[in-house]
């Protein structure tokens, strides 16, 4: 199987996974009681009307009286025609809600991902190259600090120091500033810093341990004996095999943080991003928006895993496509 066919197969599998997850989400939501229906019944009762009748009307209005398979088909058709419904929580189409929140999430998550992916492995490698020196201990301490301190708490502390005491950065996130502006950089520096410190710790530690294995490996010794410069030895002979297992950790960890930590950081720094939209839509039981945001996270997840698999094969040519 060539690379092209492999990627095609993986994409098809990713689509199937996405379909299954979205179907499961639909099923779970369909089975949970709808608070809006309950609310309508309560209101009717307050007005002295028949709550049962109101409940039926509410169900009818939302299409909940249709058989579940009909609702499911409507839903799937809507997904493929990009008609993802109306968000009752935000009074706007779901696609618009997702795009507008993604716009803000991307502004901090892109620099965060780039910095994590570049700094994490390099610091790990540096630590490994200077094992048990004060540099190693400092890097390890930094990694453990970032890994251990809760992002939520760390964010509040930084905001207190740099936002309120020193007034170097604004406390309230301003959505009206240009993306590529100093003002935007100022208001995003803390969330990016918090997320980067939270995510490079694990990557750095894995990178350090993995690269330690190769530091004195025969092929590295051979390369050095042949006169390869230390930098080249680290970058091509040690870092490359290190990256194979690391890529798994990295994708998993980044995805986890993307869904979890980004919400907390968005809450602390009042960024109207995707994490908050997903969380709030679940709380408000805004079914259309929950499904829409779930789809986005599923999409990010499967794409991440796809990239991870492809990276595997590029980094380690011994891994064939046939068995996968």
Partner 1 sequence: MPTEDRAWMESSDEAPRYIRRRQWLKALGVAGIAGFAGCQGDGDGGTETAADTPTDTPTESGTDTGTDTQDFGETATESTPVNQLPEPSGTYDTVTSAAYTTLNPLYNTEAGAGDAIGFALDGGYTFDDQQEYFPLLYDMSTDNGQVWVFEVREGLEFSDPYGEVTAESFTYQIQELHQTDWAGTADSASWGSGVNVEQTGTYEFQAELPSTNILYPESFDPLLYPVPKDLVQPYVEEQDAEGLRQDEELLELQFTGNLGAFVLDEWNRGSGTTYTRNDDYYIQNIDEGPDLFEGAPYFEGASTSVVQEQSSRLGALETGEADVASIPPTRFQEFDEKESVNVLQIPQPYNEIISVNMRDNGWNAGPGNLFRHIPFRQAMAAAINKQNLIDGVFQGLAAPHYTWQPRWSRFYPEGADLSTFGSGDQYGSDYARGLAEDAFEMSEHDYAFDGDTMVNPDGDQVALTLYHSAGQETERLESEFAAQELNNNLGMNVQVEAIDGTRFDNEYWSNNPVEPGTTATVNGEEYTWNAPSPNNGGPRSATSNQAWDMSMVFGLNTFPRNPLTNQFFFDGPNSFYNPVGYYPEFNAPELFQQAREATSVEEVERAFAEIFVNVAREQPYIMLAFPDGLTGYNPDLVGPIENFSNGWNFPAWRFEEG
Q: Given the rule CB under 8 A, which residues bind partner 1?
A: 35-36, 38-52, 54, 57-58, 61-62, 86, 88-92, 97, 100-101, 104, 156, 159-160, 163-164, 167, 170-173, 175-176, 267-270, 272-273, 276-277, 280, 283-286
> Residues 100-103: contacts with CB within 8 Å, 24+ apart?
100/272, 101/272, 101/273, 101/274, 101/276, 101/277, 102/273, 102/274, 102/296
Q: Which is nearer to partner 1, 135 or 186 (CB)?
A: 186
3-state helix/strand/coil string of 172-211: CCCCCCCCCCHHHHHHHHHHHHHHHHHHHHHHHHHHHHHH
Instruction: Note the Cα 312 to chain centre separation in Å.
Output: 20
Q: Which is nearer to partner 1, 55 or 237 (CB)?
A: 55
Q: How far is the CB of 139 from partner 1 (least distance, A)?
A: 31
Q: Which is nearer to partner 1, 177 or 310 (CB)?
A: 177
Q: Which is nearer to partner 1, 57 or 248 (CB)?
A: 57
CB 219 within 8 A of CB 237: yes
Q: How far is the CB of 195 from partner 1 (least distance, A)?
A: 16
Residue 243 CA to residue 315 CA, distance in Å, equals 7
What number of residues does the chain have? 324
Q: How far is the CB of 97 from partner 1 (least distance, A)?
A: 7
Q: How far is the CB of 296 from partner 1 (least distance, A)?
A: 15
3-state helix/strand/coil string of 105-171: HHHHHHHHHHHHHHHHHHHHHHHHHCCCCHHHHHHHHHHHHHHHCCHHHHHHHHHHHHHHHCCCCCC
Could you tell me which residues are beta bridge partners of residue 92?
A: 87
Dihedral of alpha carbons 295, 301, 305, 307, sign? positive
Q: Which is nearer to partner 1, 40 or 195 (CB)?
A: 40
Q: How far is the CB of 48 from partner 1 (least distance, A)?
A: 6
CB 253 within 8 A of CB 321: no
Q: How far is the CB of 129 from partner 1 (least distance, A)?
A: 41
Q: How far is the CB of 194 from partner 1 (least distance, A)?
A: 13
């Amino acid at each position: 199987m060539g690379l092209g066919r492999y990627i095609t197969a993986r994409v098809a599998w990713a689509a199937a996974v996405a379909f299954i997850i979205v179907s499961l989400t639909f099923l779970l939501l369909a089975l949970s009681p709808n608070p809006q229906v309950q609310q309508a019944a309560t209101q009717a009762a307050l007005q002295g009307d028949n709550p049962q009748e109101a409940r039926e009307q509410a169900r009818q209005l939302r299409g909940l009286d249709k058989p579940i398979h009909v609702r499911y088909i409507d839903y799937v058709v809507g997904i493929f025609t990009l008609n993802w419904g109306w968000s009752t929580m935000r009074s706007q189409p779901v696609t618009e809600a997702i795009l507008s929140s993604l716009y803000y999430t991307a502004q901090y998550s892109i620099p965060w991902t780039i910095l994590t992916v570049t700094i994490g492995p390099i610091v790990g490698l540096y630590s490994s190259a200077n094992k048990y020196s004060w540099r190693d201990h400092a890097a390890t301490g930094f990694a453990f600090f970032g890994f251990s301190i809760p992002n939520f708490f760390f964010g509040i502390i930084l905001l207190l120091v740099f936002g309120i005491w020193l007034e170097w950065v604004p406390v309230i996130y301003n959505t009206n500033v240009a993306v590529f502006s100093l003002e935007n950089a100022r208001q995003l520096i803390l969330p990016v810093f918090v997320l980067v410190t939270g995510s490079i710790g694990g990557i750095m530690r894995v990178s350090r341990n993995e690269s330690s294995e190769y530091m004195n490996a025969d092929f590295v010794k051979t390369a050095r004996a042949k006169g390869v410069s230390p930098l080249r030895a680290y970058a091509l002979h040690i870092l490359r095999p290190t990256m194979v297992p690391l890529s798994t950790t990295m994708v998993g960890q980044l995805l986890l943080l993307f869904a979890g930590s980004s919400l907390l950081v968005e809450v602390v720094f009042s960024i109207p991003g995707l994490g908050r939209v997903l969380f709030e839509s679940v709380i408000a039981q805004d079914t259309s928006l929950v499904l829409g945001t779930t789809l986005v996270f599923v999409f990010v997840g499967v794409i991440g895993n796809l990239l991870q698999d492809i990276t595997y094969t590029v980094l380690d040519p011994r891994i064939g496509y046939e068995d996968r």
